[in-house]
Amino acid sequence: MRIISSALVLACALGALVAAPAQAGHDLGRQVLQPGDGWASSGTGTTGGSAAATEHVVRTVAELRAALAAPAPRLIKVRGVIDLRQDCSSHATGGYTLPAYLAAYDPAVWGRDSEPSGPLEDARAASAQRQLAAIGLPVGSDTTIVGDGRGAGITGASLRVHNASNVIIRNLTFRDTRDCFPQWDPTDGADGNWNSAYDAVSLQRATNVWVDHNTFTDQPHPDSAAPTYFGRPYQQHDGSLDMTSGTDLVTASYNLFEDHGKTMLIGSSNTSTTDPGKLRVSVHHNVFRNVEERLPRVRFGQVHVYNNLYEPGPTFVYAWGVGVQSALYVENNYVKLGNGGSVEDLIYNWGGTAITETGTLVDGRPVDVLDAFNAANPTATLSGVAGWTPVLNRGLEPAHRVKNLKAGALQRERYHVAKGTDFDTVQAAIDAAPAGTTITIGKGVYREVIRVPATKRDLTLKGSTGTARDVVVDYDNASGTPKPDGTTHGTTGSATATIEADGFTARDLTFSNSFDRAAHPGITATQAVAVKATGDRQYYDRVRFLGHQDTLYADTGSAGTRARQYYRGGEIVGDVDFVFGRATAVFDQVKIHALHRDGEPAGYVTAASTRRDNPRGFLIVNSTITSDAPDGSYYLGRPWHPGGDPDAVGSVVIRDTELPAAVKAAPWTDMSGFPWREARFAEYRNSGPGAGTGADRPQLTAEQARQHTVRAYLGDWIPA
């Protein structure tokens, strides 16, 4: 019989075939850790705030802080997502700016022999303290903090269980605990490192703590997407769940750790005088996905690591770190190495002497990981006897039973954006939503820049009214708009919305870039993107795109990738190159409005940069192009070669579409020295006063037209 005590009702919701103890009921906040379930069940056990007479249901930062300060025992239920993030500049003090810091401590200037010191380092430290005051959440003894239903979470915070005992943390998603002011240390390793300061959950001098069914993630700002300074990644995330400074008797169960670097540290330092004899921790039935190291890294403690699922990513370093005087007992874990790493990398010797490793399955095969490590590291071998045998192992099962383990906080399938609902901003909802979520946006204008990262696959944004004009996401950055650091945004950076995820759908929305040329005469780089779309299988249904120059950037993630995008039944407005990029993009039943711009020509509709090896670029079909510009003043397109790339050979087909009188009789033109005749421009069966034929208007034959249809461009993808 399979016994899993800590899953309780929550695991039932996750699909595990378990039942809650009869006495526990269905209230996650009232449930306590069962006897024998890891180290946190020893001593006086772990009951948290389950005995509280009243419940604190919190929805805001202020309510959460008040609940944490209330008399114990405390039962705190988090409803929705509480977001503590602010712009980093709001924390900066003492004259700190990142450009100034980089200039002062560039190794070419400062050297590599000592850590930074002086006014800018002092300003960085002071700024970091200001951020800590804003994001730190102190948790006292006899407290339970639990997510109230699906989708509950805390974003951008550091939950600090310091000098406290008897604490339960459950069913919460912790996102993006990001340090705005990491410190550069040129003496850390051979090349130096950036070091950040805040853990999502920090346990210091804490005892009897149960951390269960939570999700820990760096999204939407993983370090993998961070810039590099001084040749080292700009590390802004510290631990997900760290246990230091004499912490003892902890059980971490059924958590999901994903998209993170330094995941779980147990033990403060090699010379600690408070850690010996403590740091007794059980880590079981957790999923570690696309993580790099510290799964966990241990000093001193007796740590039982059992029945976990490891799915490391391409930057994987190691799983089990064997540190000074550590006694790691690693039992019946399942490891999938399909995305990178090797068996001998699962263990790393950080100055320890022994590890018990037994029952490990690697891609379904029994493997003696310790033998593989010792064979690969003859000068750092480890004994196979940790010197103790775990007995608090309720739920222990064979490794093959956790091959498809489900863990983490319960997630919602739908979110709402509008004042008084789940989120006030579109970006906050995107950040919180798991892949596959539908986000409904209420009527109104949302003045913000948004990004849907590649990790948010199959996300849907939809307007609540069914009318695109009612729901508007707008901002007004241009390519030449200055940023706080003195640089400018550039074309890509000007986008109101950047959509990177595959499978994205938008419906009944307006995306706008309201940059006004006349109001900013000093800005000469006036490209102002409403949407930059780079993912495959993106569907824009009844969506409006408003702007002037470079309104819709229909692109791909890189020059070597392809992306299919389907724009149906919406509207695109602009004047210069306002549909551009290298995507395979179909515009079906779309109204394209070419604005009247002073000058000759009045404008250009398209600027495709389709790759030479891609036979399908832009297809405008069954659509209507309108314009109030003078007759014969508009080009249908010109070939864009980004950076002079000769392999960007634009492809645009306009067929079965009504054209206005504003279209020139010779509607295609050269660009930056590249002749339009070497591009792939063609028309077929167009109508209206702007339609025509002739030597300057290539036409498809009927046979060629059969290769330029919606189905031919979208291939095996059928938008729903």
Concatenated DSSP letters for 506-532? EES-EEEE---TTT-TT-------SEE
* Residue labelled with tokens 């007796």: 302
- The amino acid that residue 258 corresponds to is E
Annotated catalytic residue 577: yes
Question: Rounded to an integer, what distance in angstroms lies between the CA atom of residue 687 and that of residue 680?
Answer: 21
Output DSSP code: residue 505. E
In 3D space, the residue among 682, 591, 685 whose CA is nearest the CA of residue 636 turns out to be: 682
Q: Answer yes or no: are the C-beta atoms of 16 and 406 closer than 8 Å.
A: yes
Please list, in sequence order, all residues whose beta carbon lies within 8 angstroms of the beta carbon of residue 595, skipping any fewer than 6 positions away. 548, 573, 574, 575, 603, 627, 628, 629
d(CA 702, CA 669): 25
> How far apart are the C-alpha atoms of 529 and 11, rounded to whole Å?
45
Contact 27, 147 (CB under 8 A): no
Q: How far apart are CA 301 and CA 39, in angstroms?
A: 11
Bond into 276 cis (ω within 30): no
SS (H, E, C) 170-190: ECCEEECCCCCCCEEECCCCC
Per DSSP, the residues of 626-695 read: EE-SPTT-EEEE----GGG-TTB--EEEEES-B--TTB-SS-B--BTTB-GGGSEEEEES-BSTT---ST
Amino acid at 706: R
Measured distance CA(410)–CA(206) in Å, rounded: 26
CA quadruple 104, 105, 109, 113: dihedral sign? positive
Instruction: For residue 263, give the nearest of 206, 305, 302, 205 by alpha carbon.
Output: 305
Report the candidate in 223, 279, 222 with the shortest Cα–Cα distance to residue 252.
Answer: 279
In 3D space, the residue among 512, 436, 527 whose CA is nearest the CA of residue 479 turns out to be 527
**How many Å apart are CA 257 and CA 265, to the nearest integer?**
13
Q: For 109, how many CA atoms within 13 A lie in the half-sphere containing its CB? A: 9
Is the CB of residue 72 less than 8 Å from the CB of residue 142?
Answer: yes
What does the alpha-carbon distance between residue 508 and residue 235 come to, in Å, rounded to a whole number?
38
Q: Kindly report the length of the chain.
A: 720
**What is the dihedral angle through the alpha carbons of 517, 520, 521, 527, rounded to the nearest 10 degrees?**
-50
CA distance linking residue 229 with residue 194, whole number of Å: 9
Nearest to 548 by CA among 522, 581, 525, 582: 525
Q: Among the options 275, 422, 508, 577, which is catalytic?
A: 577
- Cβ contacts of 463 within 8 Å, gap of 6 or more: 440, 441, 443, 470, 471, 507, 508, 509
Match 């660009």 to its residue by tokens: 671
Which CA distances in Å does 611 have to 121, 538, 617, 672?
47, 19, 8, 17
Where in the sequence numbering do the catalytic residues fall? 577
